[in-house]
A and B are shown apart, each in its own frame.
Chain A
Amino acid sequence: MLVLSRKEGESLVIGEEISITILSVEPGGQVNIGICAPKEVLVLRSELQKAASVNQDAASTASATLVDELRSAMVHRQTEAPRQPDHFGKND
């Protein structure tokens, strides 16, 4: 990762067509960033890309059997009492 420092109002240029400007830094730490890029370049917050990837995994449809196993595990989880330690040792 290339690391640079910028102050409020300063900019970076990436390649020939992309520029990034630090617009303002708020007291809570939030940084407002302006991005100039061609329409066809997708700019996303990283979490959005990660969220899309997790949704893709969620959309891989599981078999009806597996889904039913999941359903019964859920119900079992709710009604199961907390496990107690096994006090019954071996016969000496």
Chain B
Amino acid sequence: MRLNTKYFGEISYEAEDVLEFPNGLFGFESEKQFLLLPFAGSDGNMLCLQSTRQSTPAFIAMNPFALKPDYAPVLSGEELRQLGAARSEDLCYYVMCVVREPVGESTVNLRCPVAVNPDLRRAMQVILDTEEYHMRHRLDEFSGGGGD
């Protein structure tokens, strides 16, 4: 299948590349299918969550553990059930980025990560039941850590 993407031009993809979002995203409940496209030169830590219907919406998503190594999202029993996972630790997480100028003022939503079951290619955005993470963490609040 082919798609005209926001940041990567026209690409081709297979059905098995598609992530199914049974509940869509908050505010975008009708968008049920996305591709996760990594940006070259980001070590896989910055990606585009690209709708398969058309070139928008396309969100910038980040690997939260690259920003905050001790990030520990805990999902509810119902959320785990919907994702077909036994434990929160079994899933992959991405956080949505609001891009601003200058880029240090960009924010990431640690409170509402996108949780992905990579085996089932199923995903949902959740709201974590904790005060520890917020919806708009400035990127420049995360200090650089040494990479592996």
Contacts and interface: CB of A to CB of B under 8 A. Distances in A.
Q: How large is the interface on B (under 10, 10 to 19, 20 to 34, 35 or more residues)?
A: 35 or more
A78 B27 contact: no
B6 interface: yes
Contacts of A70: 46, 60, 97, 99, 103, 106
Q: From DSSP, what is the main secondary structure of chain A's interface residues?
A: helix
B127 A71 contact: no
B96 A66 contact: no
Contacts of B144: 76-82
A86 interface: no
Q: From DSSP, what is the main secondary structure of chain B's interface residues?
A: loop
Interface stretch (B70-78, B116-124, B135-143): B135-143
B112 interface: yes
A54 B43 contact: no
B142 A48 contact: no
A71 B46 contact: yes
A62 interface: yes
Interface string B79-120: 000000000000000001111010110100101100000000
A58 B95 CA distance: 11
Contact of A71 (B42, B57, B58, B104): B42
A77 to B, nearest CB: 4
A72 to B, nearest CB: 8
- Of listed B58, B144, B145, residue having the most chain A CB within 10 A: B144
Interface of B: 6-7, 25-28, 39, 41-43, 45-46, 56-60, 62, 66, 96-99, 101, 103-104, 106, 109, 111-112, 125, 127, 135-136, 139, 142-147
